[in-house]
Amino acid sequence: MRHIISVLLENEAGALSRVAGLFSARGYNIESLTVAPTEDETLSRMTIVTSGSDDIIEQINKQLNKLVDVVKVVDLSEGGHIERELMLVKVRAVGKDREEMKRMADIFRGRIIDVTDKDYTIELTGPGSKLDAFLKAIDQVAILETVRTGASGIGRGDRILKV
């Protein structure tokens, strides 16, 4: 099953590689991993999307907690949560496709953030499935380049992850 795990860790050199190393050493999956400092600059927050049986997920949580740099671990998928991913897509936009591409971006609540006479760069956020849907909906040949951040997640309501 797919799980989305949030980790608060010391914002120190090498902390990211400890987490990445743990996953590769123990053969756990990483679908995506994002990390950035938080409002408290001594802490980084990481969102890991992974999958595995209940036993594997239990071990992932325990092994993450065991890392000396890790302050807190929460499996967001255990309760209500929201996840968002950012995607930038460069698409060909010439002739009659130019108007169509603009329309598609609007339908998916995307924004065109860069324009040339031949292409658009569209910014899109949402759950991963929405980004997938957008890529499927537009003309495949028109896609020139995509870049995605991987999911960031947060608990719903008063579920708060803080030190």
**Dist. CA 144–CA 137, nearest whole Å:** 15
Tell me: does residue 49 bind another protein (CB under 8 A): no
Nearer to another protein, 57 or 89 (CB): 57
Nearer to another protein, 103 or 162 (CB): 162
- Residues in the interface with another protein (CB under 8 A) total 20
Nearer to another protein, 13 or 141 (CB): 13
Which DSSP state fits 80?
A: -
Nearer to another protein, 57 or 151 (CB): 57
Q: How far is the CB of 153 from another protein (least distance, A)?
A: 21
Q: How far is the CB of 87 from another protein (least distance, A)?
A: 32
Evaluate whether 14 touches 22 at the Cβ level (below 8 Å): no
Taking each helix axis as running N to C, give the angle between helix 15-25 and helix 54-66, from 0 to 180 degrees, rounded to the nearest 10: 150
Restricting to residues 14-33, name those near another protein by CB under 8 A: 14, 17-18, 21, 25
Tell me: does residue 162 bind another protein (CB under 8 A): no
| Dihedral sign (CA 126, 131, 133, 139) | positive
Tell me: does residue 58 bind another protein (CB under 8 A): yes
| Dihedral sign (CA 125, 94, 119, 117) | negative
Evaluate whether 88 touches 122 at the Cβ level (below 8 Å): yes
Tell me how far the alpha carbon of residue 70 is from its chain's centroid. 20
* Chain residues in the site for another protein (CB under 8 A): 9-10, 13-14, 17-18, 21, 25, 55, 58-59, 62-63, 65-66, 68-71, 163
